[in-house]
Amino acid sequence: MAILSAIGMGLGVVNSGLQFLEGSKIKSQANHGLAKFQHQELTNLAENLKPSLEAERQMQTAASKQRAAVVDVAGGMDAAQAMAMTSAGLGATGDLEMKAFSSILDKEYQADVSRVQEEQTMRSMVEKRKMEELSSLRAQKMAGMQMQTSAMKDLGGMALGAGLASDKLAASQGKATSLFGKAGATGTGINPITGKPY
């Protein structure tokens, strides 16, 4: 029976040692992951959002050319006809330019807004993944620490059991122990655990 107990204790010690080492490994991996973990750098994506002004420059160039053409044509007419032609030509040209310019700017602005929104969505997804990874690393570290604590507790329990068994065996052989005293030495050798004489 004693040999089976010794084998059981030996296996228990080995198992506790392996559990402690596995916990140390898991904790070390988590600490390594936490050490190299970096949070996503966030910036204000809309800070540099500006509608394109190239369309405006092109429209101004075209308007200048059209105005010059209207003035040239009106130059060969009498004053009343020239004034009417200039007023109508420049008014129609200005209205058309403003509509086209407004439409182009609106489309460019919407495209810019869409790009910024898409970038924000992608960054949000990356940040969510990073937070999940960070939570996973922290949970892994805690699991490793719990495995180490459990292994130490098991080992301590086995050591206490071995010590009690050793003291009980020594006391039953008539040897003095710190826990059980010496059985039969004074005639009052009572086992404090069972309450029976040795």
Q: Which tens digits make up the pLDDT trace of 157-176?
A: 887 777 777 777 777 777 77
Least reliable range by pLDDT among 93-97, 100-104, 189-193: 189-193
How many angstroms separate the CA atoms of 74 and 84, rounded? Answer: 9
Locate 97 and state its tokens.
């330019």
Q: Which residues are registered as beta bridge partners of 190?
A: 197
Q: How confident is the model at residue 49 (pLDDT cuts 50, 70, 90)?
A: low
pTM of the model: 0.46
The lowest-confidence range among 50-59, 91-100, 116-125, 128-137 is: 50-59
Q: Please compute the mean of the pLDDT values over residues 98-122 and round it to a whole number.
A: 79
Please give the structure tokens belonging to residue 87: 């007023």
Helix then strand then coil, in percent of the chain rounded to 5, is 75, 0, 25
Where are the chain's structural domains? Answer: 2-172
Six-digit token pair at 176? 């003095």
Residue 2 has pLDDT above 60, yes or no: no
Q: Is the pLDDT at 16 greater than 60, yes or no?
A: yes
Q: Are 19 and 147 in contact (CB under 8 A)?
A: yes
Q: How confident is the model at residue 153 (pLDDT cuts 50, 70, 90)?
A: confident
- The string of DSSP codes covering 61-111 is HHHHHHHHHHHHHHHTS-HHHHHHHHHHHHHHHHHHHHHHHHHHHHHHHHH
Q: How many CB atoms lie within 10 A of CB 48?
A: 9
What distance in Å separates the CA atoms of residue 155 and residue 19, rounded to the nearest whole number?
10
d(CA 159, CA 168): 14
User: Tokens 């655990």 belong to which residue?
Assistant: 193
CB 51 within 8 A of CB 109: yes
Q: Which amino acid is at 100?
A: A
**Spatial separation of the C-alpha atoms in residues 100 and 135, rounded to whole Å:** 53
The residue count for the chain: 198
